Structure 1
Amino acid sequence: MADDRVDLSVRHSGIPHQALPTGIFIDPTLKATDRNVLCVFRTQMSETSKMAMPTYREIKRMANIGSDATVSRAISILRLTRWIIKVGDIRDDGGRIVRTAYDICDEPECLQTVIKRDTRYLGFVKRMHSHHHPAVVHIAKSVQDGIDLFSDLVADGKRSVRSLSPTEKQEIREESHENLRQFQQGKIDKVTYHAVAYSNKISTLDEEELPTEARLQKLKSGTGGQDSEPRLQFLKSQKSLTSKTEEYCSSSSFNTTTTTTGENRKTSDAELFWPTLLMSELNDSERALILRRLSLVEGQDQQPLINQLTGRMMDSHQPDLEDPVKYMFWLIKKHQEGEEVLTSASTRDYRKPSGDISARVQKNDLETQLREVKSRIGSLKTLMDGHNVGKNPALHQQLSQSLQREEATLQALTEEMQQIAEN
């Protein structure tokens, strides 16, 4: 006799794959609007790994959002939490930026990978500390805590996620789930959850390598040991103002005043000289990460450490450095412990021309100059397109002359690049 009982279990109809990662829905940092924007991004993905961001109008229509400021805030939060990675700008034939290119991740990417692909990520995090929306500021400060923890782990010799075995990666996922469970039960606060969740990826989860309780207590603290709970209470008290704030704030609505964050942290490296090799091999985020770590040592020792790194990278008798940032962190840690790590390379004057600079460095410098010139040309064309010639002919003539100079520079740089390629 046939069983006529109805099966009330949930069944799947269609291709059995995960169209939307589970992490999107269990990440407590993301709100409903942020998830909707991320889902819109995923629906626009093509077969390639790189995509052009949909316009704000498209995002508002597909995510049912009424404000450009809300879309901008959601994109800022997704980039802060590393669900999306800005990898460049899409330009037209004239060099003008028409769209932004993002990589969409199945889970928040580790910092070590992001700073390689998003060269301005750390600068973006720093700017978000002055964002007008309190939720963005709070997340940016939590992410900064994770960056500091990342620096500590790397300096202690922890391995990068690329060197982990599948078993170790599974342990990290299990630890992340346990971290989420503790957050949901109220055992740890949001600052600690965010810092640990996005920093666990860079270490193997051996007991001796896990962050200590003292470190977690330090992350919970604000400045001078004050608990971060008042800041969370402040955010709750501002909930009624959030909807009004979203109408007027966007990712570009931040103060540009430079401030110092954290104890003994520098905000500028104007007093330091970065040799050509480092400027060529390290991007903006990597230099910012090194600078932040250098602030832990005395000012007179910072330049010698930079010179030591340069000398090690130029030493043809030793294998190439796979990770200059990790090596620099190791130098700083050993120097703090009192070990003699500085050699004659630390006293060398790299401001003088050197025959050791390779063609690779020259090529990288030219590529950087080409990008800058193309960007200036695009900006000038945009100004000229929006300028009324009859209103101010003198200004239009000045813009035309500047454009001609930049185009001549572009042609000269292109010819120099061709000569290097032929040689």
Structure 2
Amino acid sequence: MAHDDAVPRPETVALDALIKATIAEFKGEGAVASSDAMLFVGNWHQAVPAMVIQDPILEPVDKVVWMVIMSHARETGGRTAFPDYDTIANQTNVSSTSTVSRAIAILRLTRWLTLYARLRQKSGRFTGNIYVLHDEPLPLVDALHLDDAYMAFVSQSQQHHHGRVRLVAQGISDSLDETIRDGQNLAEREAGSERRLRAAQFLAEKGKNTDGSSRYFAFTGASVNRLKQPSPQRSGGAGDRDQNSKTEEKVHYSSDCSSNYKTTTTTTPTQNANSNESALPAASSCSDKPLIYPPRLSENQRLLADRYLGMIAPEARQSVLDELQGRLDSEQRGMKPVYDELRFLHSLCKAADKGEFIPNLGIKVAEGRLSRAQSAPPPVDPQQEALKAEERERSRAYGIEQIAKLRLSFNAKDDS
């Protein structure tokens, strides 16, 4: 019996044979002596997308948080309660739920995670969120469809209290602006195989190619490389809220109403030293009146429209929006429907940027708005309203005083 106990298990003998065969094959390939080899022994476990592991934007804690969320989804076949922050913190072995919150914000920014809806009772009481986890970053057009507050979240995250979230949000914003400058439509749909191939090529080249075709899903190659540069807070010279006061010259689109709206100015970046130096500004009209967007545009579409409008002169922006509205109105008169409003707006902005835009359908829209404004009652002057209210109050007080005097006189007559 003792002799039998000394015999290794069959699986151990098989493992020994496998290792020897691997060594022989390894030597036969002419590998140098300093190279290392590896074998995996044991049961195969749940698969994790390679892109999660290789993602150059996500930090280790972000990747582990994604894996923990995925493990919860797999336990119930894909639909389950979203794990709370304490559960995620415990399973990822992080000491703070704020770290989990930061990781979830970055996963949402990079579109590995989508916030689909916020649930409320009839009373308005908030009850929870509906999240969707993806096996690769979602295309922008799909993210806009599922998450109606995605663009607002990107904008808000640029003011986030955590520096890494601010950097990633700025990288998303920079990538959108660079895509516009390259003449591409932000919401253009591309085949999933092309997106994955381009991302894999970027990883293979280690981000060395930063031309217009270099992308890693939501990010352009240039944005990824800026994110990988040491930030001030990591170099030991500043904290998360520190500001960079370095003054530098950059070219951007001015929001004033001059005819030459592409100007060179000296600016002082105060939030993110790695931000794009040629970011398009928020669109505005050339007057104090805000731009009037077609009601059909969603909030996401309006925020993206602002980026398109930032490439043209301020005085042309409302005319371009009116042209879009006129084209949408023409659908009721039998014209072909506009299935992609942003694509149509992009074509109008490119024409305006080249000086080729001629208002047509938008003229009627502008005239109708002017006619409604002229027929509407004049705006109320707050100061005049305050004076009238004060006069009414004095008249009321005087009337009360007179009534009181009459009552006193009647009482006096009764006593006599």
Q: Which residue of 1 aligns with 2:281?
A: 265
Selected match of 2:176 from 114, 125, 147: 147
Q: Does 1:303 align with 2:321?
A: no
Residue deviations 1:367-397, cap 9 Å, x none?
A: xxxxxxxxxxxxxxxxxxxxxxxxxxxxxxx
Cα pair 1:87 1:103 within 8 Å, conserved: yes
Q: Does 1:234 align with 2:232?
A: yes
Q: Does 1:187 align with 2:208?
A: yes
The 1:95–1:262 alpha-carbon spacing in structure 2 relative to 1, beyond 3 Å, is farther
In structure 2, the gaps of 5 or more residues are 1-12, 20-38, 243-270, 373-416
Residue deviations 1:106-159, cap 9 Å, x none?
A: 101111221222122122112222223222222122111221233345x44698
Q: Does 1:6 align with 2:17?
A: yes
Q: Does 1:59 align with 2:59?
A: no
Selected match of 1:74 from 103, 110, 129: 103
Q: Which residue of 2 aligns with 1:30?
A: 58
Cα pair 2:119 2:127 within 8 Å, conserved: yes
The 1:263–1:78 alpha-carbon spacing in structure 2 relative to 1, beyond 3 Å, is closer
Q: Could you tell which deviates more after superposition, 296-305 or 91-100? A: 91-100
1:241 & 1:339 partners in 2: Cα distance? 48
Secondary structure of residue in 2 paired with 1:348: helix
Cα pair 1:111 1:147 within 8 Å, conserved: no
Question: Post-superposition shift, 1:288?
Answer: 0.5
Q: Which residue of 2 aligns with 1:175?
A: 198
| AA at the equivalent of 2:65 | V
Cα pair 1:125 1:144 within 8 Å, conserved: yes
Question: Post-superposition shift, 1:282?
Answer: 2.1
Selected match of 1:343 from 360, 364, 370: 360
1:158 & 1:229 partners in 2: Cα distance? 21
Larger-Rg structure: 2
The 1:266–1:347 alpha-carbon spacing in structure 2 relative to 1, beyond 3 Å, is farther
Selected match of 2:307 from 275, 292, 303: 292
Cα pair 2:195 2:217 within 8 Å, conserved: no
Cα pair 1:119 1:286 within 8 Å, conserved: no
1:45 & 1:239 partners in 2: Cα distance? 41
1:139 & 1:194 partners in 2: Cα distance? 20
1:138 & 1:71 partners in 2: Cα distance? 17
Q: TM-score, normalised by structure 1?
A: 0.60
Secondary structure of residue in 2 paired with 1:232: coil
Residue deviations 1:167-208, cap 9 Å, x none?
A: xx434423211211222xx7368xx999821258xxxxxxxx
Structure with more contact order per residue of length (Cα contacts < 8 Å, sep ≥ 6): 1
1:268 & 1:157 partners in 2: Cα distance? 21
| AA at the equivalent of 1:265 | P
1:187 & 1:142 partners in 2: Cα distance? 17
Residue deviations 1:351-370, cap 9 Å, x none?
A: 4899xxxxxxxxxxxxxxxx
Cα pair 1:290 1:328 within 8 Å, conserved: yes
Question: Post-superposition shift, 1:58?
Answer: 2.3
Q: Which residue of 2 aligns with 1:131?
A: 160
Greater helix content? 1
Cα pair 1:306 1:346 within 8 Å, conserved: no
In structure 1, the gaps of 5 or more residues are 201-210, 222-227, 246-254, 355-423
Question: Post-superposition shift, 1:53?
Answer: 3.3
2:72 & 2:200 partners in 1: Cα distance? 29
1:174 & 1:115 partners in 2: Cα distance? 23
Residue deviations 1:219-243, cap 9 Å, x none?
A: 699xxxxxx599625243149968x
The 1:193–1:6 alpha-carbon spacing in structure 2 relative to 1, beyond 3 Å, is farther
Cα pair 1:83 1:105 within 8 Å, conserved: yes
The 1:145–1:194 alpha-carbon spacing in structure 2 relative to 1, beyond 3 Å, is farther
Q: Which residue of 2 aligns with 1:196?
A: 215
Quote the sequence identity (%). Answer: 23
Secondary structure of residue in 2 paired with 1:146: helix
Q: Which residue of 2 aligns with 1:95?
A: 124
1:182 & 1:58 partners in 2: Cα distance? 37
> How many residue pairs align between the two structures?
302
Cα pair 1:53 1:102 within 8 Å, conserved: yes
2:328 & 2:47 partners in 1: Cα distance? 44
Secondary structure of residue in 2 paired with 1:89: strand
Question: Post-superposition shift, 1:301?
Answer: 0.9
Q: Let me know the Cα RMSD of the aligned residues.
A: 4.0
The 1:194–1:268 alpha-carbon spacing in structure 2 relative to 1, beyond 3 Å, is farther
